[in-house]
Structure 1
Amino acid sequence: MERWFGEGFKHLHPLLQRLHRQGGTLHGPVDLHTGTGLAGWFGARLATRLGIPTDKKQLDLFVTIHSRNDALHWNRRFGDGAYLCSTFHPCGSWPDGYWIESTGAMRLALAVETTDRGWRWRPLKAWLHGMRIPLWLLPRTTAYKRIENDRYHFYVGFSLPVLGTLLSYSGNLSAD
């Protein structure tokens, strides 16, 4: 991680630097929102595919983060559900490089924009089962992380034009 960022690593909050240097475990309550009407139906289906229970508006999130074999691993578990595992492989270097996130059959190329001593993911490309698909076929994704009051604050949201928000989850997590 630090090698990929190079000089940009110093733009990150020291707690984010430490988390990505050493790995760690984060946990805490997250707020879950689904859209209404058709957007809510799509959001519930997306949540199911991600292993996120939709019967509550707030649930516990557990995240373990570690680096191995030149990849960053994020394993997330919502409530008592199964783990959602993502692997991130670096390509190039910051600010022009990107990460390839692999989660199940989906792969995304994600650029990183540093803001507020945290970062925002910006989707560049997508593949499903190894086949390239245009981003306009996927829900728009907003994802960022930063430190607020010594806690790891994050937001992940999915939306579609006209329908609006399908699903979002956010919260402030504590490090173990």
Structure 2
Amino acid sequence: MEGNSVTNWFGEHFTELHPMLQRLHREGGELTGEVEVRYGRGLAGLLGRRLAKKLGLPAASQRCEMRVDIRHSAACLFWNRRFAGGQSMNSTFVPHGHFPDGYWLESTGKLSLELGVRILDGGWHWQQRRMLFLGRPLPGWLPPRSEAYKHIENEQYRFSVSFTLPWLGLLFSYAGNLQALEN
């Protein structure tokens, strides 16, 4: 079977991912389930809501449905997310180099994240290296920090994403268990 951007980037390390993550990233697929969206307090919450609005997240902390469509090509990984039936949050991930020293460049609108990957207990943990705006790196002290992972928990895909500012705390987060939709 010919590889795609994910299998080629991981190379022989691809088999270190949980078998369900391997299948998802060999074949692509659509996942759905309930996630909890949370916002920080005070100024952090205000900034988080402004950023999250641009990304298509609900305006208030709540539990809501999330759907994510994951597709691959030889050159890119595509994630199209939708929260509570709202607008789509589309990301394109372009691989650079190879695991473990390479990274992915995730682009969503004008913002891009340079993300390394760590495999922990079969899970895929993103490691933010830097953030870019219109292709230009932001100073290390300025951008929010992201923590994100996906792993398998009770035969479901567990996703967690959070953005924080060191001097303010939580901007926003979303996390939950998703199930694969059968085609």
Q: TM-score, normalised by structure 1?
A: 0.96
- 1:106 corresponds to which residue? 111
Instruction: Give the drift of 1:100.
Output: 0.9
Name the SS of the counterpart of 1:44 in structure 2: helix
2:86 maps to 1:81: yes
**Cα distance per residue 1:38-71 (max 9 Å; x no partner):** 1111111121111111235111101000112411
SS in 2 for 1:30: strand
Verify: 1:14 aligned to 2:19, yes or no.
Answer: yes
Give the aligned partner of residue 65 of structure 2: 60
d(CA) in 1 for partners of 2:126 and 2:58? Answer: 24
Q: Which residue identity lines up with residue 76 of structure 2 in the other structure?
A: A
Match of 2:51 among 46, 49, 53: 46
Moved over 6 A (4+): none
How many residue pairs are counted as aligned between the two chains?
Answer: 176
Who is 2:126 aligned against? 121
Structure 2: which 5+ runs fail to align? 1-5
The CA distance in 2 between the partners of 1:174 and 1:117, in whole Å, is 17
The 3-state SS of whatever aligns with 2:8 is helix
Q: Distance in 1 between matches of 2:126 and 2:141?
A: 17
Match for residue 135 of structure 2 among 130, 141, 155: 130
Aligned residue identity for 1:167? F
Return 134-143 or 81-90, whichever deviates more: 134-143
Cα distance in 2 for partners of 1:170, 1:39 equals 18
Question: Which range moved further: 57-66 or 125-134?
Answer: 125-134
C-alpha separation in 2, matches of 1:82 and 1:174: 21
Pick the aligned partner of 2:100 from 88, 95, 111.
Answer: 95
Q: Is the contact made by 2:112 and 2:131 (CA closer than 8 Å) also made in structure 1?
A: yes
Q: Distance in 2 between matches of 1:69 and 1:119?
A: 20
- 8 Å Cα contact 2:90/2:108 also seen in 1: yes
Q: Alignment RMSD, CA only?
A: 1.1
Gaps of 5+ in 1: none
Task: Provide the C-alpha distance between the structure 2 equivalents of 1:156 and 1:69, rounded to a whole number of angstroms.
Answer: 26
Summarize deviations over 1:16-46 as a string: whole Å, max 9, x none.
Answer: 0000000000001100111111111111112
Aligned mates of 1:158, 1:168 — CA distance in 2 = 6
1:135 deviation in Å? 3.2
